[in-house]
Amino acid sequence: MAHKCFISFKTEDISYKEEIQDDLDIDMIDKSLNEAIDSDDEDYIMRKIREDYLSDSTVTIHLIGSYSAENSWLQNQIYIKRELQASLYNGENNTKNGILGVALPSMYGNIYKGEYTCSSCGGTHNYVSINNETVVKEFSYNYYIPKDSGCCWSEEDRYCVLVKWDDFKEDPNKYIDKAFDKKSSPISSKTKVRP
């Protein structure tokens, strides 16, 4: 079954959004939030986003490029932050979306930093750099959801799903399904809308 997707992206990465739209077989809602909603009332804005943009989508595809970090210099992240917040919001007629982060090629080196030997368990883990230098907090918090014990995060400990663009392109619906399934998994109760 195809899940309806909303794509959250920075204008600089629009070519990837267009490629998803034109070349990949994905059922998506083509709306983006680049035109501002004219209001100072944050609750109203969030409600509008949910109603007008996200209401019938179940998965949010978040493109992670060179301009999407919390600490990106001179970047206004208000739109992608709101889109992710609205996606994570669990409302009465509008349950939260699954979140699929797609790391764009320019970010591979910044995010996937190889393996390291863990000082706490002695095992080998992958170093996946998802933090304020690579993504906004709404993504990083719900990727590395704080936990009480253990040295690393297993797939079940995360709400956000992360995939490289090249892998995503090969089989988009596999990863969309994975993000969709998170909605009904236990970790879904631990997400945060505004970290």
Judged by the rule CB under 5 A, the positions of this chain that interact with Zn ion are 118, 121, 123, 151-152
Q: Provide, rounded to whole angstroms, the least separation between the CB of residue 158 and Zn ion.
A: 16
Task: Kindly tell me which of 24 and 151 has the beta carbon lying closer to Zn ion.
Answer: 151
Task: Kindly tell me which of 154 and 189 has the beta carbon lying closer to Zn ion.
Answer: 154
Task: Kindly tell me which of 37 and 145 has the beta carbon lying closer to Zn ion.
Answer: 145
Q: CB nearest Zn ion: which residue?
A: 118
Q: Provide, rounded to whole angstroms, the least separation between the CB of residue 154 and Zn ion.
A: 11
Residue closest to 19 by CA, chosen among 177, 168, 178, 194: 168
Q: Provide, rounded to whole angstroms, the least separation between the CB of residue 152 and Zn ion.
A: 5
Task: Kindly tell me which of 149 and 184 has the beta carbon lying closer to Zn ion.
Answer: 149
Cα separation, 124 vs 15, whole angstroms: 36
* Residue-wise DSSP of 17-41: HHHHHHHS---EE---TTSPP--S-
Residues 6+ apart with CB under 8 A from 99: 59, 60, 62, 84, 87, 88, 139, 142, 159, 160, 161, 179, 182
Q: Provide, rounded to whole angstroms, the least separation between the CB of residue 187 and Zn ion.
A: 19
